[in-house]
Amino acid sequence: MSLALDMMGGFLWTAAAFIVALSVIVTVHEYGHYIIGRLCGIKAEVFSLGFGPRLAARRDRHGTVWQVAAIPLGGYVRFLGDADAASAGSVPVEPARARQSLTGAPLWARFATVAAGPAFNFALSILVFAGMAIWQGLPVDEVEVGRLHPTPPGVEMQLQPGDRILALDGRPVASWRDLGAAAAELPSRPVHDWTVLRDGAEITVPGPDPMPPLVTGIAPRSPAASAGLKPGDVILAIDGAPVSRFDELRAHVAEAEGRPVLLKVWREGEGVADYTLAAREQDLPTDEGYTRRWLIGVTGGGTYFEPAARPAGLAEALGIGAARTWDIIASSVSGLWAMISGQIGSCNLGGAISIAETTGQAASAGGGNFIWWIAVLSAAIGFLNLLPVPVLDGGHLMFYLYEAVAGRRPSDRVMDILSALGLAAVLSLMVLGLTNDLFCP
């Protein structure tokens, strides 16, 4: 009974987190269509959060009905003259009001209105990432110790917040790049000599390996997630062999080639426990493309301390937000092309289940992680909506570009055929993603 209740609670938590995230992203997307359309003189008849029967509604002074519907899995704006929520067709509009309809508006107004949805998704991502940069701050240029992470008993940790790292085992350290280079050259061992500047004096204190086996992230639906590993865990040993550095864990997992391995793990407040799990061979992006590697689904390699942070300026934070949003778009393009060209398998395409599970895990990890994940999803959804597939925003923009070049709109028959093909393509991808969620390892 207890297990069943836990499973039910986990399902409800995941579903609630997914609905909240999706609602935020869709509301921002559709509001982009609505507000730009209104500014361009196009009338929105309905702004709906959700599909299906109406639960609550009100009409504003512009004549738009704002409603909440029964199925909270998306939303839409229906403009004057739209035949359906996807604006895939039109219905007759009296000539006097034709300019207020999406089909009767000038080409520039239609283009701006449709493009605004993905643009608002990107704007949401940029603002969230910028806000997090301002809130969390940015690492100072020097290698300075900030907040300390909890460490297992027996770990030599005499570094203190505010220490400025000058050298590691005698090797000068002036930047984080220097620290990484020193860590790569030095042998792995439990204790190193850290030379620091503390209270104006240069001293040398014992400290742990600069790249300890500290788990900083867990991939959803991975062997590590299934086994119950969590961020903050420290891997003490693998198959009985002590581990001092994260690279040792990576190398041992690769050598096992999918054979079950036994991890001895320390977790703050719970002590030491054993976990058995087997790696899966997965596609991993590299500078040259993609390669197959055995992975258990943990990320790490950071230090036992956070970098000291400095305040981020508004312009700097917006630049960081734009760069991170662009990285998500670029990785989406790269991954999509890799699947189309056969560089990676179709199992890399996740569906609604995997997205919901990831959303639930992000929410469980804390509010900051949840907001960050919403920003990631918003950028990805903005990109997907720009794909030149009829029924998506990108499909509408493709038709508008054709109209701009050819001087006329595609015929209704062509529009109907392409829209049907586009809908079939979207539904096929959704089914493929769901199938992957259920059957891919």
Q: Across the strands, what pairs with 310?
A: 138
Mean of the per-residue pLDDT values of the chain: 89
The per-residue pLDDT for 6 is 55
| pLDDT tens per residue, range 369-405 | 899 999 999 999 999 999 999 889 999 999 999 999 9
Q: Across the strands, what pairs with 69?
A: 54
3-class DSSP state of 91? coil
Give the DSSP H/E element, type plus range, for residue 286.
Answer: strand 280-286
| pLDDT tens per residue, range 6-20 | 556 678 999 999 999
The per-residue pLDDT for 322 is 97
List, in sequence order, the alpha helices (H) in 290-365: 314-340, 352-364
Average pLDDT over residues 357-362: 88
Instruction: Check pLDDT > 60 for residue 357.
Output: yes
| pLDDT tens per residue, range 63-110 | 999 999 998 888 899 998 776 555 555 667 777 788 888 888 999 999
Chain position carrying tokens 């004549």 = 63
CB 49 within 8 A of CB 73: no
Instruction: Check pLDDT > 90 for residue 218.
Output: no
| pLDDT tens per residue, range 261-317 | 999 999 999 999 999 999 998 877 776 677 888 889 898 867 899 889 888 999 999
Boundaries of every domain in the chain: 2-136+377-439, 140-207, 215-296
3-class DSSP state of 325? helix
- Strand 280-286 relative to strand 289-295: parallel, antiparallel, unpaired? antiparallel
Model confidence band, residue 38 (pLDDT cutoffs 50, 70, 90) = very high
Give whole-number Cα distances, 337 to 50, 159, 217, 342, 383, in Å: 32, 46, 26, 8, 13
**140-207 topology per CATH:** Pdz3 Domain (2.30.42)
Active site residue 288: no
- Residues near 242 by Cβ (< 8 Å), separated by ≥ 6? 190, 236
| pLDDT tens per residue, range 24-35 | 999 999 999 999
- Torsion, CA 244, CA 245, CA 248, CA 249, rounded to 10: 90
CB 87 within 8 A of CB 102: yes
Which among 30, 144, 248, 357 is annotated as catalytic?
A: 30
**215-296 topology per CATH:** Pdz3 Domain (2.30.42)
CB 79 within 8 A of CB 43: yes
| pLDDT tens per residue, range 410-430 | 888 888 888 888 889 888 888
Q: What percent of the chain has pLDDT over 70?
A: 95
Chain position carrying tokens 């998306």 = 74
The per-residue pLDDT for 222 is 86
Which has more confidence, 333 or 341?
Answer: 333
Are 140-207 and 215-296 the same fold in CATH?
yes
